């Protein structure tokens, strides 16, 4: 009989370590083909103060990290990305977006079974293509690429549907002690912080399965 593990991933669509973490989670799950995984992507905003239209990327990053530190930060991320098959294109990114609408889209994608695909597409758009994922047209394109209905997504994005629900979910994560992302929660009981190696994520999966057996 197949066993199921639920994985909640607290993440932000503009977090490079979250993209790396997703790739490592994908690797961990692929190494355990006999397990059924229910992956649910949960929202987090690294900076909710960014205005809805976003900010110039270079100016924002320089102010946040310091102009002198950025090359070293990007070099470290590029090296970590290469280890999981990612070629970050930081120089292509012109806008640092507010990710509230991206998280609304990810939330809607869960009910259609497209959530994992939407998350992957948003990461690729931002980090590999330099696209503005705060832009409604870009978000709609990501949704359609993942198999969602264009008209439905356009209608939802034009209003403020689920904006408060996303903010409350972020607040819940913060109350639970999540201060950085990615943060993985296995079966609601085992937490793993950071873009850990696939082997560490596999250990958490095994621990979850052992806990399930202990409850039988």
Nearest to 49 by CA among 58, 60, 59: 60
- What confidence category does residue 216 fall into, taking pLDDT thresholds of 50, 70 and 90? low
pLDDT at 119: 98
Eight-class DSSP state of 91: G
**Mean pLDDT across the chain:** 96
Measured CA to CA, the distance from residue 101 to residue 111 in angstroms comes to 17
pLDDT at 1: 61
Q: Residue 213 phi/psi, 5° resolution?
A: -65, -35
* Average confidence (pLDDT) over 63-84: 96
- What confidence category does residue 68 fall into, taking pLDDT thresholds of 50, 70 and 90? very high
Claim: this prediction has a pTM higher than 0.75: yes
Q: Strands, E, within 29-173: which ranges?
A: 35-43, 55-56, 95-96
Measured CA to CA, the distance from residue 12 to residue 80 in angstroms comes to 18
Nearest to 41 by CA among 10, 19, 4: 10
Indicate if the pLDDT at residue 201 is higher than 70. Answer: yes
Percent of the chain at pLDDT exceeding 70: 99
């Amino acid at each position: 009989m197949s066993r199921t593990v639920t994985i909640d991933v607290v993440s932000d669509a503009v977090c490079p370590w979250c993209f790396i973490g997703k790739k490592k989670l994908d690797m961990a799950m692929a190494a355990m083909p006999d397990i059924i995984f229910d992956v649910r992507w949960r929202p987090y905003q690294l900076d909710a103060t960014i205005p809805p239209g976003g900010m110039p990327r270079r100016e924002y990053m320089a102010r946040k990290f310091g102009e002198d530190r950025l090359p070293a930060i990007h070099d470290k991320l590029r090296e970590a990305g290469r280890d999981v098959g990612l070629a970050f294109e930081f120089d292509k990114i012109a806008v640092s977006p507010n990710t509230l609408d991206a998280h609304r889209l990810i939330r809607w994608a869960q009910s259609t079974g497209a959530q994992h695909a939407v998350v992957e597409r948003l990461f690729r758009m931002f980090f590999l293509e330099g696209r503005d994922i705060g832009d409604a047209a870009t978000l709609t394109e990501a949704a359609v690429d993942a198999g969602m209905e264009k008209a439905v997504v356009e209608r939802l994005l034009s209003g403020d549907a689920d904006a408060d629900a996303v903010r409350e979910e972020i607040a819940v994560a913060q109350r639970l002690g999540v201060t950085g992302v990615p943060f993985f929660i296995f079966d609601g009981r085992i937490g793993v912080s950071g873009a850990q190696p696939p082997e560490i994520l596999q250990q958490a999966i095994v621990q979850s399965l052992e806990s399930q057996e202990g409850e039988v």
